[in-house]
Amino acid sequence: MNGSRIKVAVVPGSFDPLTNGHVDIIERSLEIFDSVVVGVLDNASKQALFSPEERVDFIRKHFEDKKDRLTVHCFSGLLVEFVRSVNSALVVRGLRAISDFDYEAQMSLINRKLDAGVETIFLTAREEHNYVSSSIVKQVALLGGDVSNMVPPEIVTALRDKIPV
């Protein structure tokens, strides 16, 4: 890549909901790249707890003070097409332990087949976030457990509102 080009990275995911692991990957991407586009996947076949609009809103509000370099969009369809649509050629994904590796390697190979110009970069999860996933957060919250060490405070509140006790 030409060093003088502005580097726009895309951080895609379901973000249902935003976790401390996601926040860490987004913050670290902001340290490395000129700007970051978070792509919230609107996957009709996946049953989500929060609507795509709610998920986009959580991320926008959480990173309100970074909005000059961070934008959040909802997308459906092929990731490589979304990446191109925001003038990027870089995907950043987080890697937890070894469990994510097979799936992530397969996705990056498929994306390269679809568009050889789109590169995927991996950031390893911080140790303290290694066990955190949106699905674990939802499972614990649904059972009435404390998720305050896994998600930002506003998400704790949103989960409480969404899941009546």
Query: Is 134 one of the annotated active-site residues of the chain?
Result: yes
Q: Which of 96, 112, 126, 162 is catalytic?
A: 96
Give the amino acid at 143: L
Of 48, 62, 133, 155, the one binding ligand ADP by CB under 6 A: 133
d(CA 4, CA 7): 9
d(CA 76, CA 105): 21
Residues 112-131: x where in contact with ligand ADP by CB under 6 A, - otherwise, as a string:
-------------x---x--
Q: Which is nearer to ligand ADP, 26 or 35 (CB)?
A: 26
Q: Which is nearer to ligand ADP, 4 or 43 (CB)?
A: 43
**Residue list 34-53, contact with ligand ADP (CB under 6 A):** none
d(CA 33, CA 76): 24
The sign of the torsion formed by the CA atoms of 16, 20, 21, 25 equals: positive
Query: Is 46 one of the annotated active-site residues of the chain?
Result: yes
d(CA 163, CA 165): 6
- 83 lies in the site for ligand ADP, by CB under 6 A: no
Give the amino acid at 139: Q
Paired sense of beta strands 35-41 and 8-13, if any: parallel
Q: Give the residue numbers annotated as catalytic, written as ranges.
A: 22, 46, 96, 134
Q: Which residues bind ligand ADP (CB under 6 A)?
A: 13-15, 19, 21-22, 25, 93-94, 96, 100, 125, 129, 132-134
